[in-house]
Amino acid sequence: MKPLNIGMVGYGFMGRTHSNGYSQANHFFPCEYKPVLKAVCARNKDKAQAFADTWGYESVETDWRELLKRDDIDAIDVCTPNNLHKEISIAAAEAGKMVLCEKPLAMNQTDGEAMCQAVEKAGVKNMVWYNYRRVPAVTLAKQLIDEGRLGQIFHYRANFLQDWTINADVPQGGAATWRLDAEAAGSGVTGDLLAHCIDTALWLNGQIKDVSAMTETFVKERMHSETGKKEPVKIDDACSFLCHFDNGSLGLFESTRYARGHKALYTFEINGENASIRWDLHDLHRLEYFDHNDDSIVRGWRSVHVSDGDQPYMGNWWVPGLNIGYEHTFIHQVADFLKSLETGEQMHPSFRDALETQKVCDAVLDSAAQRVWKEV
């Protein structure tokens, strides 16, 4: 068993999902490498220590620059708000550490490009936590597409719908709500939610050529946790866009935090000449599949309960019919990363992969601001 010594920066929601991934991967996926939780780093020492106690981190740091200096750390996991991804990732690469960065990669394409160059120049392993690629049903979708079952693709549509910011009393800024603060988050739903939809789309359906987008900020001012005053809201509450893919298919994407009744409804549907696929995160263990080759009188959407041993990742879990959940996507990503260390193959999504998503996000925001079609 070879150790992979982890130093994590941040300890929020994503800090928990990643820590769980490190703890669980080797219980289910036999790997030569095994993560060792060496240190967690955060400005508030008490909170960092409490987190370390819960998850079994061996030590805490309060300055990420100190963490980077430590010889006993192999990989830096960047779980901070978006505005810190660039600086920490580049410094980590320069320190020769592997870099595992939360999504979105960067605040914008320029920053993202600099981050790619840094990891590539340093030759360090890198990946971005676009975890939804590793929902078994989504991985199965990729497999079906790669097998050519869909034929020519006509349509790709995706959305990511939430409703948690309808209440105008939700503040912006601070630990729980930095995603509403443009300073920390860069953008609103575009970088937070649509970025997931775009990453999956590029993976499943190839490059996007051009976009026409529309954004909206429904609540114009919110109390800022740091200033204690009402401040203008500068992020996008909702964003939708039309697009063309390189393969000739049409795309339709939407994201919002104002869709009453949806907690975290990420869905996509792909319509091909011969078959169609759809999936949604609220029932993430099911893949809906329509095969036009089925005998016509009994043709219909199949609700595939993805829990069998021959379906992606599921052979390592329980028995048919028994579901796994959200957190397992991170366990899979850790396991796949560990395997990439064994095989020496490039892990995906890499920084470079994530930069493609960043480009689309930038084009979307530009298109919305200027009310014109934008090439990606």
Say if residue 171 is preceded by a cis peptide, omega within 30 of 0.
no
Q: Which of 87, 67, 85 is nearest to 75 (CA)?
A: 67
Residue 225, amino acid: S
Contacts (CB under 8 A) with its own copies, residues 94-123: none
Evaluate whether 329 touches 131 at the Cβ level (below 8 Å). yes
Residue 87 binding its own copies, by CB under 8 A: no
300 contacts its own copies (rule: CB under 8 A): yes
Q: Is 311 in the site for its own copies (CB under 8 A)?
A: yes
Q: Is 320 one of the binding residues for its own copies (CB under 8 A)?
A: yes
Quote the DSSP letter at residue 227.
T
- Region near its own copies per CB under 8 A, out of 115-123, 163-171, 199-207, 333-341: 163-171
Which of these segments, 91-99, 184-192, 233-241, 343-351, binds its own copies (CB under 8 A)? 233-241
Cβ proximity to its own copies, 19 vs 108, nearer residue: 19
Within its chain, how far is the Cα of 88 from the centroid?
18
- Among residues 108, 109, 200, 240, which is the contact residue for its own copies, using CB under 8 A? 240
User: Binding mask 50-69 vs its own copies (x if CB under 8 A, - otherwise)?
Assistant: ----xx--------------
Q: Residue 216, exposed/middle/buried by CB under 10 A (0-12, 13-18, 19+)?
A: middle
Count of positions on this chain that bind its own copies (CB under 8 A): 93
Task: By CB under 8 A, name the one of 84, 258, 339, 350 that touches its own copies.
Answer: 258
Question: Roughly how many angstroms between the first and final C-alpha of the chain, as a whole number?
Answer: 44
Neighbouring C-beta atoms of residue 146, cutoff 10 Å:
10
Nearest distance in Å: CB 367, its own copies? 9
If one asks whether residue 170 binds its own copies (CB under 8 A), the answer comes out as no
Is there a contact between 70 and 39 (Cβ–Cβ < 8 Å)? yes
